[in-house]
Amino acid sequence: MIHSRLKTTLAFLALVYLPITAIASLPVVERLEPRGVVRGEETTISLVGNRLKDAHQVLSDVDGLTILDVKPIDNKKVEITIKTDPTIAPGLYPIRLVTKSGIANLRLLGVGAMPIVKEVEPNNGIETQQPIELNTTIEGVIEREDVDHYAVKLAAGQSLQVEIEGIRLAYSLNNQNILDPYIAILDQGRFELATSDDSAFLGQDGVCSYTAESDGVYTVLVRDSSFGGHPSCSYRLHVGTFPRPVAAIPGGGVPGSTLNAKLIHLSGETEEGSVVLPSESRSRYAVVTENEDGISPSPNWIRVNTLPVVMEDEPQNNNHRKAPSVTVPAALCGVIGQPGDFDAFQFECKKGERYRVNVFARNCLRSPLDAVLNVFGPDYKTIVSSDDVNGSVDPSLEFATKVDGAHTIRIYDHLRGGSPLHQYRIEVEKANPTFALTLKEGRRDQAEVISVPIGGQTATVITASRQGYNDAIEPHVLGLPEGVTATTYPIPKGRSEIPILFTASSEAKHDASLFNIEATGDSKHADVQGNFAQTHKLVLGQNRRGMWSYDSDRAAIAVTDAAPFSIELVQPKTPIVRSGSKDLIVRIVRDKGFNGAVSLRTLYNPPGIGINNSRKIEKGKSEVNIPITANGNAAIGVWPLIMIATYPTSNGNAEIASPPIELEVQDSLFKYSFPRTTAELGTEATVAVEVEVLRDLPSTTVVDENEVAADANAEGTGSDAADAEVELVGIPNGVTCAEPIQKVSKDTTMLTFRIVVAADAKPGKHKTLVCQSRVKVGDEIIHQTNGTGELRLDKPLPVKKVEQPKPKTEEKKAEPKKAEPKPLSRLEQLRQMKQN
């Protein structure tokens, strides 16, 4: 430790990360009892969960934390004895329980410098509050609607710091029984003097501070923010006069240097501190503060890398048109010190240069700043902007310069907020090609771990996120247990994932370790490098939203019990072609006494390959065929293919992987064109299919791979070309074809299939015609399926009847009708009546 002139020390600790498993029925640790230990002491901790009876080891590579004993009690409980060094820095440390059947989920163990006191019920009110001493850690539980009260004495002018570990101790992937803590400091009149629910510094855990105005007894209150609770909702509450900075500015430095930082406390007070940084780069580096009042119960986080630190120049950098000039690459550090503040940095660029800019504020530094980033060209017009990116709450971007001249970066808070705590670190560097590696999740939301059986093998998938590099990636595995080897394959150009196989010898012992994956570009790009990392989701909220997670830079592997059988995925002698299909053969050799069913699935499907993963080897059987297909765009090449077998054990399911085969994917052999065919019911027609043989057919014989004469799939050009046939299938009901199978040679250009249409066939358009090609090579057949053709069946047109003309007959002229008398008018009627 290096003491500053203010007698404040920054102690440091680089936390090492441990991964979590995702294979078969793995052990699960649901809770720790107690949740934490005191540094410098030896403590026995109970790990409670499921499938724990064969526990034998705990993974933790943190200096100063030693596992002395692992003692299984039963299948739900294990006792471990841990000893911590007196100088270990307080914080949360990952531990992983290892059994003979796998590795349990990662749990965080609290390590503190203050004595631990257990909660004593009833303490639900002021009248029954539990007295505690200053500088104490209390371990308690929040039941439903529970409110815990603790009484502490303060002298006038004495500062009280309260910090809680609630959600940071939890493990819940189903949004159940999660403690979202609320803490408060109350005076003797029960008025809240300071409160904290969520905090920028600790996420959904709170931290608050109060300086006493008079002597007296004050109350620290703990409850769930929504008055929930559960017997599993436990917490560690740190109460004392210890220092509690919530910001260390600047947020990082250069490896091996001494960082002189300004520490800002919750109260707004500041002081100076210094620390010697590690000799290697760290994406996150933990520092804790220690002085005469104590030591902070959790660290501040900073970044350590080779970028020189450049501090902001206030107030000159408030206007992006007049920003101070800096030299990049650099880490640009500063604070959005007040509401409405803008910070800007200007640097010279050459046309065609490409830069990568990453902001660290809420991530890593735990700043309240919700950063927004703008980049302006020499004309002060916006080139690109960024807010949240890819699930991160901090912005990041890349941009290319189109002209020479000064370019400007501007940062501000999304809601125009600001305070002395709104710090940031902007890392600006050339956008060199790179990539990031991780292991693909085998089970949803759970980081992958490796369980390799003695004398067997297992496999996982490496995934790569590329940034400016699209060629092959060469991975290498370091840090495996004794007797375990890894078989790696290059990640092909333009692809993002590839399998990796782990094999344990028959002499390997039950053991576990943390391993790393290093990788470079191909031989032409050996200077391109990438890093490995895993994210462990510890608490998920509604809609599976991440509430608390832990990052690691290594994965965990364990040597587990041997499988009761060996497995083989039979290497096919012929390729699969685009638009083709094939059956893979899986065989097992059972140990005596094992007769259970074995479920099968592929670890990884090559691009464009579909595989039926519902097949299993039934009880008492030893072999099964697995159908696979290749679509018309399947990736051509040779791909490693691995089958995973799941089998029952006395403590859940376990898995073993087959040795890999090399599945060769080739282009299609044939191309078919289906002209539309029309026929009437009750007639005959011809279905004509145009054929294009795309390449020479394979050889009729499969040469042993140890022979030098020819490759197993060498293309034939003469009389040794394999026989090929095409079958017309998908013929509608009521339609028959006497010769649906026809031979094909390299000279074939047209196939004709005579069909007979029954009178009662269903009329209409039938888009079902398909050509199935079969090329026999040795004792295997290469299948290709293409379609679809259209056959239209019409009803016969009705026959028109011709009517005979009728003979003409003379029609009698009708006598003219007598005209009807004209009706008399009323006047005429009166005249006639007078005459009569």
Tell me the pLDDT tens digit for each residue of 766-820.
999 999 999 999 889 999 999 889 999 999 887 666 666 666 665 556 666 666 6
Q: The whole model's pTM is what?
A: 0.85
DSSP 392: B
Using a 10 angstrom Cβ sphere, with 0-12 exposed, 13-18 middle and 19 or more buried, the burial of residue 789 is: buried
In sequence order, the 6+-apart residues with CB closer than 8 A to the CB of 278 are 12, 14, 255, 256, 285, 304
In sequence order, the 6+-apart residues with CB closer than 8 A to the CB of 604 are 459, 461, 497, 498, 499, 640, 641, 642
Which CATH topology does 116-240 take?
A: Jelly Rolls (2.60.120)
Matching residue, tokens 């210094």: 274
* 3-state class (DSSP) for residue 128: helix
Rounded to the nearest 5°, which phi and psi values hold at 553?
-110, 15
Half-sphere exposure of 121 (CA within 13 A, CB side): 7
Helices and strands: H and E segment counts in the chain: 1, 67
The pLDDT value recorded for residue 698 is 84
The pLDDT value recorded for residue 268 is 84
The pLDDT value recorded for residue 4 is 32
Matching residue, tokens 């079958």: 727
The pLDDT value recorded for residue 13 is 33
CATH 3.30.70 is the classification of domain 435-558: no
List the end-to-end C-alpha distance of the chain, in Å, as a whole number: 154
Rounded to the nearest 5°, which phi and psi values hold at 828?
-65, -40
Residue 387 contacts residue 424 (beta carbons within 8 Å): no
Nearest 5°: CA angle at 459, between 458 and 465?
160
The pLDDT value recorded for residue 604 is 85
Q: Where in the chain is CATH 2.60.120.380?
A: 116-240, 309-431
SS3 content of the chain, % helix, strand, coil (to 5): 5, 50, 45
* Domain formed by 309-431, architecture: Sandwich (2.60)
- What type of residue sits at position 478? L
Superfamily of domain 565-666 in the CATH hierarchy: Immunoglobulins (2.60.40.10)
Distance CA 89, CA 290 (A): 10
Residue 519 contacts residue 439 (beta carbons within 8 Å): no
The pLDDT value recorded for residue 388 is 86
The pLDDT value recorded for residue 49 is 95
Residue 81 contacts residue 207 (beta carbons within 8 Å): no
Whole-angstrom CA distances from 222 to 187, 189, 204, 298, 831 are: 15, 17, 14, 19, 124
Distance CA 504, CA 458 (A): 9
Rounded to the nearest 5°, which phi and psi values hold at 568?
-135, 130
Q: Where in the chain is CATH 2.60.40.10?
A: 565-666, 670-794
Whole-angstrom CA distances from 419 to 161, 265, 372, 423, 623 are: 21, 12, 16, 8, 69
Taking 70 as the pLDDT cut, the residues of the chain under it are 1-24, 700-722, 799-821, 836
CATH 2.60.40.10 is the classification of domain 670-794: yes
- What type of residue sits at position 559? V
